[in-house]
Amino acid sequence: MSQNIPRIPLDLRKHKLAIAIPWTIIVTTGCFIPVAVYFGVHYGTNKDLTTALSPGLATFGASSGYNLYFRFWSLYKAKSTCRPVNSPSRWFLDNFMWNFMILFGILTVLISVAIAKEQVRVASLSLSILMFAVGLQMVIVVVLRSFRVQSPFQVSSAPPGETVKSAALAIVEDVVAVDAKQGAEMRALLLARYDASPPIQNLFWKLDLLWGVSALGVAAGIVAIIFAVHNYSVGFAVGYSVPWIWAGLMTIVTIQMVKAAKREEERYFSQAGSID
């Protein structure tokens, strides 16, 4: 039986710069700068821990705050073209934005308290908390989808009343629409492709499970190391480097999974004739 599959007229290779710039800044300020400044000041001078922690973590906070403002304004402004499909108002932000704002607030408080109290181990937890939050959501979505639970509210562009879709799908939709500047039309096309293609649904189910479980496992390991090692500086280095190494490796695995899913989709819809 033939079936028309919604085409996705998007080549992310043409938008690598738009996506790479903010994420390169986040990785640089969320890994290299905090670690370099901390070790440089703490071991290269006689300054106290507050001075060693503050500059690097403040830079991380500032870059995250800038990206938060950029995303919020892109979604909220009156002539926004990237809000979720069927948004009831300007205040209906996408799922990525709500996570960003809530976690930014939590981590800002955590890091501020850690700096004030000179608690290096507490300051080392920020990225692990982020991994726990995102990983837990993904695992919960996998469970809900397995039991075919219907969503009680709209998640990004996925409407309420339908079986819970995918946490990874929501992330892809939000990043492509806002960060890659592809807008609401691309949101609709991504959802249509997902709904029409069982291989793509299976791909996102696997991505939710893989990213979610690995995030929880790696984050738990990082926290254990932070509080187990005698030298809290080692825990700081682990806390601000391992999450990015994990994310990089997972990205490589994800790219290979996407390529395999597209081949499977082509086989599945070999008679459709409308695969992008």
How do the domains of the chain map onto residue ranges? 12-268
Q: What is the pLDDT of residue 18?
A: 66
What residues contact residue 18 under an 8 Å CB cut-off, 6+ apart?
179, 180, 181
Task: Using alpha carbons only, give the angle 114, 50, 102 rounded to the nearest 5 degrees.
Answer: 35
pTM over 0.95: no
Q: What is the pLDDT of residue 91?
A: 93
Q: What is the pLDDT of residue 92?
A: 93
Q: What is the pLDDT of residue 1?
A: 37
Among candidate residues 221, 230, 37, 44, the one with its CA nearest the CA of residue 115? 37
What are the φ and ψ backbone dihedral angles of 155, each rounded to 5 degrees? -115, 110
Q: Chunked in runs of 10, what are the mean pLDDT values of the chain (276 residues)? A: 62 65 79 92 89 92 91 95 94 95 96 94 96 97 96 95 96 92 93 94 97 98 97 96 96 94 89 54
Specify the amino acid at residue 206: K
Q: What is the pLDDT of residue 214?
A: 98
Q: How far apart are CA 192 and CA 197, in angstroms?
A: 9
User: Residue 32 corresponds to which tokens in the numbers above?
Assistant: 């290299």
Asked if residue 85 lies in contact with residue 157, where contact means CB atoms within 8 angstroms, the answer is yes
Q: What is the pLDDT of residue 6?
A: 74
Q: What is the pLDDT of residue 109?
A: 96
